[in-house]
Structure 1
Amino acid sequence: MRDEADIRQRLGLEPGTPPLVALRGIGKIFPGVIANADVDFEVLPGEIHALLGENGAGKSTLMNVLTGIYQPDSGEILVGGYAQSFAAPQDAIAAGIGMVHQHFKLVQAFTVAENVHLGWGDTPARISAADLEARTAALAATLNLAVKPGAVVADLSTGEQQRVEILRVLSRQARVLILDEPTAVLTPAEAQELFVALRGFVAQGNAVIFISHKLDEVLEIAGRITILRQGRKVATEWAEDCTERSLAQLMVGRDIVLSDLRGRPDGVAGPGAPVLRLEGVGLKGLLTGITLEVRAGEILGVAGVAGNGQRELCQVMTGLARPTEGRVLLEGVDLSTAGPGKVAAVGVGHIPEDRLASGVAPALSITDNAVLREYRAPPVSRGPWFLPRAALALAQQIAGVAEVAVPDFAMPVRNLSGGNQQRLVARREMRIARKVLVAAYPSRGLDVGAINTMMRYFTELRDQGVAVVLVSEELEELLNLSDRIAVLFHGRIMGVVEGAEADLDEIGLMMGGQSRNSQNGDSQNGAAA
């Protein structure tokens, strides 16, 4: 009882103030997997409480229990001190609990304004599209979230869609707001704007459950931090008593440090001849005049604020989009109109930015997804015949190398945690990336241990002579890995800098639209050649 009194005193609450939400002894078991085991977790009024853990530690499952998506096998949920049972997410929303999921729940064919107001009781029965957009713009301004009310969601970047999700839930004024990796696709400035909104939200006596793998942000925004490991609660600590290193150790049970990986082992040569080259590439006004090359045995980082052409650049490089001007060359061969199948067949792998929408077929088995790129080739196929046992053996091999624990390879891949999906996709694409790997935000949603593993995947490929294109908003990640860094702004290359000479201030200026030649006289695109 004394500990409870101390917690409330530090939060400025009256003694005996009940938690807004408390989970007691929560257990959840899936076939072959104990997702949660006897987990206690509570959130008090006025606090931002972070929830940490490795991928697959049980964080999302615990929150899915709290929001009525899953029913607990044991334990109970208390809201305001009273036991509650949520048969569906609507019950949790009615009780004042809202969640922004890591994988988006938006209707792709609807506009931003329509998505924000969909299913919301405050939406007028009759309202014009213009008024709906005006209401959305006013909400966005109030909550410091930049969105495009009239844009169709399908046309937005992943980062822009994330902002719509956050706005949609924040606009309901839930008492308890659950955010799953909310800053994964936000710039540092946008993340700070979100933090201002969250602090204002909890100042009104509400609470936030903040799930993130960005330990620096967790220490900045959270008051208390709860850590899960292998489905069990390891500890609940005050943020001021923690460091990034201590949190990482609690999460993964070992010391993790992401060091500078640009150095090469003895006997491994530096970058070689150009492999992939873009010459004056444009795409429907989304990309303009892109001239860029990637060399064998090189990691080319691509920096930029979300929505500035990164998705389209990756699509052009991998055959998913045909440029409206210019050419895409692989070792001198024009692949501008080849299509994704042919581009993959000649040795180009692709880790897409949205793994659930583009990287996997969620309803298909783990085996089917693991062998997706090789199902027509031996050993998975012999002539016209598909060999299920050989497919399973290959899937087990890929999962083993990717360090993904799979209880049942026949279960849908959507049952894996997001991080495990990402590692599986990465290893699958690395197998076909004989010449080039295009990786878009590959560490998004991964814990510190998984990020370290993912980055070493890329250096392995680089050291084998593969050209790697790494798109990321994490500048530290790019600086630790990249031989060169290209910066995108509004679909244009603002400049390309050597990784060893990269300056954060210079990159920041280019991300904001200042070309490199206006800073120091270098050619805007010439440094790419």
Structure 2
Amino acid sequence: MKLELREITKTFGSFVANDAIDLVIEPGEIHSLLGENGAGKSTLMNVLYGLYRPDGGQILIDGQPVRFTGPGDAMAAGIGMVHQHFMLVPVFTVAENVVLGHEPTRGGMLDLGAARNLVREISARFGFDLDPDALIEDLPVGAQQRVEIVKALSRHAEVLVLDEPTAVLTPHETDELMAIMRQLRDEGTSIVFITHKLREVKAVSDRITVIRRGKVVGSADPSADQADLASLMVGRQVSLALDKAPAAPGEVALEVTDLRVTDESGVRTLDGVSFDVHRGEVLAVAGVQGNGQTELTEALLGLQDNVQGSAKLDGAELVGRTTKQILDAGIGFVPEDRTHDALVPDFSVAENLVLDQFNRPPYGSALVMRPAAVRTNAETLVEDFDVRTSSAQNAVSTLSGGNQQKVVMARALNRELSLLIASQPTRGVDVGSIEFLHRRILDERDRGTPVIIVSTELDEVTQLADRIAVMYRGTILGIVPGDTDRDVLGLMMAGYTAEAAREAVAAGARTTDSQLADEGELA
């Protein structure tokens, strides 16, 4: 199926999200839409999928004009879409989610047997390894994404739109997704891959179209240089290497001793973690996702119930204090999951920017909030952090994922800090904004603030870190300098001690992202 978009225009009030965009998707190709946060990529695909009605232009399938009044029309025409934020019912099973809206029946009743068989058939075809009876809420993010793909394929999608599909995936899950994309392409399915991650675009694309501020600004071959793609995407030269001055660490500000966390089932998820962070340094916590990083940050913020040990900030104990007390002590916090833990979707951008300070001057008191001060603060931060929105009074849910992340980072950095803890600080953010946010983090360090960064991205870890603590199975295997070799870090993330990893690398061993992720899962 050949898909054409001709001069598609979509406006929201005076804001032009898509400005006469032309796009052709050939049969059996992976066509990447590359652009910065808020460029209009998702809006364009929402028009294609029938979620938005275009204000101008037309859609053609195999040369014939079509008009979609809703997603049902798009699905009937052979177009499927996997949204950045999954459209799944958490308490339903995999099979129930896959057939939701087109349920097979027998005798007027839901035929769950047929639904299970459908899931098994598609899963076996693509090696998805999905249990039809598993509850969505019990599945990891990568498996939930495969459920969304099975949903689309069960409706015989010939064009599959993947909207920022790797934003919340581990490196191993990303590799798996790319293998699935290639297999789908080889079987004749066209894929529209919406992303801003240059490395992934180069790895999987057949063609690349770049959108900037609602317009197509060019196309590129996957062999194009990353720096050239970045410049085309953001409209200026972008430095892909972070230029930072050496740290000048001061005295110890945070001292963590024998920190332990036990979950509800009695499993020790954090086991005897000890480290310190100096003023004016970045300590990066690296590790395969699921090795205790989440529990560590939540324990420091008072978000874990069963915590033992000690965490002293400037001599004051944090363990046993409430989250509000900890935040009020001057700790800036960026949670790893912005959707569930960092934002209130129905609140405005302005309100989300003061969530942790709304009852304190100048934004309010215990009794009232001061809207004028909240609005002025929002206008300043929206401009400083280049948050793409037509108004700070819009609900934060209307923003793209990367712009939502900018809101979270802006809030965390918008006050005097005694400690910054940022988990996955640039998740879902485009290359130009990553450059800006990394610089803001280093500026905070250079002001003397102790900084903890938790990231599964080794590039981010090695660029920001002055020291790196590697976590494995709820413990810290070692703390190494920030310029430690990537292969050494990779082996440590797979369970090697620092000394053993250095010896192995010296002997010629290397660990790819996929291999270390496999090791982490086996652990």
TM-score w.r.t. the length of structure 1 is 0.85
- Counterpart of 2:510 in structure 1 is none
Could you tell me whether the CA contact under 8 Å between 1:160 and 1:306 is conserved in 2?
Answer: no
How many Å separate the matches in 1 of 2:152 and 2:466? 40
Q: Which whole-Å CA distance do the structure 2 matches of 1:51 and 1:207 have between them?
A: 13
Q: CA deviation at 1:346?
A: 0.8
Q: For residues 390 and 5 of structure 2, what CA distance do their matches in structure 1 show?
A: 27
Mapping of residues 416-495 of structure 1, within 5 Å: 416-432=399-415, 434-495=417-478
C-alpha displacement at 1:136, in angstroms? 5.5
Gaps in structure 1 of 5+ consecutive residues:
1-18, 522-529
Instruction: Among all aligned residue pairs of Structure 1 and Structure 2, give the percentage whose two residues are the same amino acid.
Output: 42
CA contact (8 A) 1:348 1:434 kept: yes
Q: 2:175 aligned with 1:198, yes or no?
A: no
SS at match of 2:9: strand
Q: Who is 2:346 aligned against? A: 363
Alignment of 1:121-160 (within 5 A): 121=103, 125-127=110-112, 132=116, 140=123, 142-145=125-128, 152-154=135-137, 158=141
User: For the structure 1 residues 498 and 173, does the alpha-carbon distance in structure 2 shift closer, same or farther, using more than 3 Å as the test?
Assistant: farther
Per the alignment, residue 76 of structure 2 pairs with: 94
Q: Identify the residue that residue 303 of structure 2 maps to in structure 1.
A: 320
Q: Which moved more, 1:211-220 or 1:164-173?
A: 164-173
Q: Are the structure 2 counterparts of residues 424 and 202 from structure 1 closer, same or farther at C-alpha, using a change threshold of 3 Å?
A: same
CA contact (8 A) 2:491 2:501 kept: no
- Secondary structure in structure 2 of the residue aligned to 1:477: helix
Q: Report the CA distance between 1:282 and its aligned residue.
A: 1.8
Name the counterpart of 2:4. Answer: 22
Do the aligned partners of residues 488 and 25 (structure 1) sit closer, same or farther apart at CA in structure 2, a change above 3 Å counting? same
Q: 8 Å contact 1:158–1:306 — kept in the other structure?
A: no
Q: Is the 8 A contact 2:382 2:392 kept in 1?
A: no
Equivalent residues of 2:142, 2:173 under 8 A apart: no
Post-superposition shift, 1:360?
A: 1.6
CA RMSD of superposed structures (Å): 2.9
Alignment of 1:47-446 (within 5 A): 47-112=29-94, 114-116=96-98, 118-119=100-101, 121=103, 125-127=110-112, 132=116, 140=123, 142-145=125-128, 152-154=135-137, 158=141, 161-162=144-145, 164-166=147-149, 168-169=151-152, 172-240=155-223, 242-264=224-246, 269-284=248-263, 285=267, 286-381=269-364, 384-432=367-415, 434-446=417-429
Structure 2 residue runs without a partner (length 5+): 504-523
CA contact (8 A) 1:486 1:497 kept: yes
Summarize deviations over 1:455-483 as a string: whole Å, max 9, x none.
11110111112222212222111101111
Give the superposition deviation at 1:231: 0.3
Distance in 1 separating the partners of 2:355 and 2:389: 17
Equivalent AA in structure 2 for residue 395 of structure 1 = A
Q: Is the 8 A contact 1:175 1:206 kept in 2?
A: yes
Bigger mean CA deviation after superposition, 446-455 or 363-372: 363-372
Does residue 19 of structure 2 align to residue 37 of structure 1?
Answer: yes
Change (3 A) 1:382 1:440: closer
Deviation, 1:79, is 2.2
> CA distance change for structure 1 residues 412 and 176 in 2, over 3 Å: closer, same or farther?
same
Shift in alpha-carbon separation, 1:154–1:350, aligned structure 2, 3 A: farther
**In 2 relative to 1, CA 434–400 (structure 1 residues): closer, same or farther, beyond 3 Å?**
same
Q: Following the alignment from structure 1 to structure 2, what is the Cα–Cα distance between the partners of residues 164 and 293?
A: 42
Please give the secondary structure, in 2, of the residue aligned with 1:290: strand
Q: Would the aligned equivalents of 1:281 and 1:291 in 2 still touch at CA under 8 Å?
A: no
**Residue 141 of structure 1: how far off its partner (Å):** 5.9
- Residues 79-128 of structure 1, C-alpha deviations (whole Å, 9 max, x = no match): 23222222222322222212222223232334556545544646993448
Match of 2:414, SS state, is helix
Q: How much has 1:425 moved relative to structure 2?
A: 1.4
Change (3 A) 1:189 1:27: same
Distance 2:129 2:293 in 1: 19
* Other structure's SS at 2:27 match: coil
**Aligned positions, number:** 496
2:95–2:112 Cα contact (<8 Å) kept = no
